Structure 1
């Protein structure tokens, strides 16, 4: 199937987003930390395909981490039922940092990398890292270094980049720090690069909010929850069709592009000797992807039962 196989590492990104709504007859809609009135759903996406693995609608006033441990429990149960292997990695930003979540992932044997709030104890740990421990890395915005230390028994990996007001040749450089905790093995620079890739979750969120989640139409919270699940299903159908067409996952493409390439393709259904035949334009640039996806879809085994 399209899910992760038993030998594949499944990387899951956790995130949340504010879905703005208008009108006052909306159960659960409220102002949250963004000062926007709406709902605040939780999402878990698969990093290499962009498909949504789990979603739950929440009230607009819910803070980022509210209900995340139960959400992860539901997610892991779904992945187990879907045949995912034991190699699972969960990535998240600082809004989800809480020891209860990390402990739950550790007990389940799940790898994690979660951005940490840089409160005073964390900054003290970072300041104690010796200068010789910092390793230069390739970074899109220029000069950057990574190092690591232990923080409350957990592996803390830190990336530093020049501060906004740093100037070349100044006596004492100023740095901005980005830190995350992890239970994964590997070099600090490789794990930092992997953790930065968590940003890919924003592409799925953008797709959803540019489509069905542009609004949540009902006054009923339960109806809007169902709307969210339908939106997720539509999003996933696009991603699965792209995967069936061997579109490649090295660079995720927005849903609007797939709708243009695969779903808006002009064609004509003709009857040849009693056999329905789909005729496609010879010069459509993505005809091969479409026919590959169609053949793969037809070849899928039937669903048992």
Structure 2
């Protein structure tokens, strides 16, 4: 593509009061209203002083800015241009929204704003098939944390965590199915130097309670997947008490090593693995990766009532370290990766259990999605303000996910990233025209995603359904 005109023949003037750069905020905020974002925030938030007045409108403004691409307080100016004032009430100044966030305390975030986020995702699930389930299929609940890098010395709680990067620690719990992209059920911002398992049991309990209230109607037990950092009785016990099964990577302690040593050589079977080759004559996968399992009792050092029975599924691959190449060993040497699961073997076999567990990596896509948007950095120096920012970012993420499903259930937008949905459905330029007390949005002709936008617009402008309060 090349520029069509000579440079002198084109000029730019910011003078049209009827243009908006993100017309997709109209259906997005209608969807947010249907999910009860404003009403829930207004009813539940008790942020003190005059900065807490109109909490519902301020929460809606912050979520709208994030949906439109804001990743800092100053970016909230994206809501204050052209004809936005004719479309929306109370487009607050960034300074007002920043002051509002800084008034949050731990209780406001943990007990009030978290409750708003939980009910919003429940309401969205009641209006949109966020999690599609086939007969007998489980919902996969994934738990993991990530370090959000920050800069400067005035960020409360910042520290060097397990990644060696100075930042704050965000713990996220997501839910997904084989045909549905992840949605976020729970979140928590923690100090950067916090160990991964701290507070994990509570967020697992909250996430599974939210999932249970979403009433998916399948009846199958959800499956909690996590890495070895969360292999502890508190987290696993909470999940089982809440009615879920677990699939959690274990640390290679003496008990695990002893269990692996009892596996017979003929018990190992090949699995489909990266770079494996399928033998067309036998139908088997030719690969160096193999799996086997052995019955295992977790937490044997605890009292008998607290021990958990399950299976230890082990994957082994050849150890091809440099020392092995220089001097080959007499026998094959393997590296072992094991995880503990409470699923029944007759329901999920060894190979399927391994493949299912490896699917836990899907949560990394959610981390990347958030960091490519509102969590590109945490905008405030106040820890509780950043905690509130994380919860609002989660609300925006779930709203965007629901919008993609409504707009294009059978197409790629149903599983698209937030950036793709924003580019196709939200940041659509429009010119406002008023006639007979009605506003018409004049959108670009031949917009490639016109049908998806039209569907989202039509659905969100239908009468709102009843919502949880």
TM-score bracket, shorter-length normalisation: 0.7 to 0.9
* 1:172 aligned partner: 331
User: Which residue, 241, 244, 250 being the options, matches 1:110?
Assistant: 244
Q: What is the distance in 1 between the residues matched to 2:208 and 2:404?
A: 25
Q: What is the distance in 1 between the residues matched to 2:408 and 2:317?
A: 38
* 1:290 aligned partner: 453
**Structure 2: any 5+ residue segments left out of the alignment?**
1-125, 277-286, 298-308
1:220: Cα distance to partner?
Answer: 1.6
The alpha-carbon distance between structure 1 residues 254 and 5, as it changes in their structure 2 partners (threshold 3 A), is closer
- TM-score, L = length of structure 1: 0.88
* 1:233 aligned partner: 395
The alpha-carbon distance between structure 1 residues 269 and 163, as it changes in their structure 2 partners (threshold 3 A), is farther
> Residue by residue, what CA displacement relative to the aligned partner does 1:6-56 show, whole Å, maximum 9, x if unpaired?
987322110101112222222222222222222112101122322211101
* 2:316 aligned partner: 160
**Structure 1: any 5+ residue segments left out of the alignment?**
none
Q: What is the distance in 2 between the residues matched to 1:238 and 1:202?
A: 18
* 1:191 aligned partner: 353
Q: What is the distance in 2 between the residues matched to 1:182 and 1:296?
A: 41
Q: What is the distance in 1 between the residues matched to 2:424 and 2:170?
A: 30
* 1:244 aligned partner: 406
The alpha-carbon distance between structure 1 residues 246 and 177, as it changes in their structure 2 partners (threshold 3 A), is farther
User: Which residue, 372, 376, 398 being the options, matches 1:214?
Assistant: 376
Is the 2:249–2:339 Cα contact (8 Å) retained in structure 1?
A: yes
Q: Work out which structure has the larger RCO, using CA pairs closer than 8 Å and 6 or more positions apart in sequence.
A: 2
1:124: Cα distance to partner?
Answer: 2.3
Q: What is the distance in 2 between the residues matched to 1:287 and 1:176?
A: 52
The 3-state SS of whatever aligns with 1:291 is: helix
1:75 aligns with 2:207: yes
1:181 aligns with 2:340: yes
Q: What is the distance in 2 between the residues matched to 1:243 and 1:300?
A: 19
Q: What is the distance in 2 between the residues matched to 1:155 and 1:110?
A: 15
Is the 1:10–1:46 Cα contact (8 Å) retained in structure 2?
A: yes
1:210: Cα distance to partner?
Answer: 1.6
Question: Looking at CA atoms only, which structure, 1 or 2, has the larger radius of gyration?
Answer: 2
1:93: Cα distance to partner?
Answer: 0.9
Over 6 Å off, 4+ runs: 5-8
Q: What is the distance in 2 between the residues matched to 1:171 and 1:190?
A: 32
> Residue by residue, what CA displacement relative to the aligned partner does 1:151-206 show, whole Å, maximum 9, x if unpaired?
22321111223333488x98633322221111113111112111111101011101
* 1:120 aligned partner: 254
Superposition RMSD in Å: 2.8
> Residue by residue, what CA displacement relative to the aligned partner does 1:123-155 show, whole Å, maximum 9, x if unpaired?
221222112111212112321222111122321
> Residue by residue, what CA displacement relative to the aligned partner does 1:75-122 show, whole Å, maximum 9, x if unpaired?
233333443555322111111111232222222221211111122321
Which stretch of structure 1 is more off in the superposition, 122-131 or 244-253? 244-253
Q: What is the distance in 2 between the residues matched to 1:194 and 1:267?
A: 45
The number of equivalent residue pairs is: 304
* 2:23 aligned partner: none
The 3-state SS of whatever aligns with 1:50 is: strand
Q: What is the distance in 2 between the residues matched to 1:275 and 1:264?
A: 22
The 3-state SS of whatever aligns with 2:258 is: helix
* 1:261 aligned partner: 424
Which stretch of structure 1 is more off in the superposition, 285-294 or 246-255? 246-255
* 1:149 aligned partner: 294
Is the 1:270–1:279 Cα contact (8 Å) retained in structure 2?
A: yes
Q: What is the distance in 2 between the residues matched to 1:150 and 1:160?
A: 17
* 1:24 aligned partner: 153
1:226: Cα distance to partner?
Answer: 0.6
1:242: Cα distance to partner?
Answer: 0.8
The alpha-carbon distance between structure 1 residues 302 and 69, as it changes in their structure 2 partners (threshold 3 A), is same
The 3-state SS of whatever aligns with 2:446 is: coil
Q: What is the distance in 2 between the residues matched to 1:199 and 1:257?
A: 21
Q: What is the distance in 2 between the residues matched to 1:247 and 1:268?
A: 28
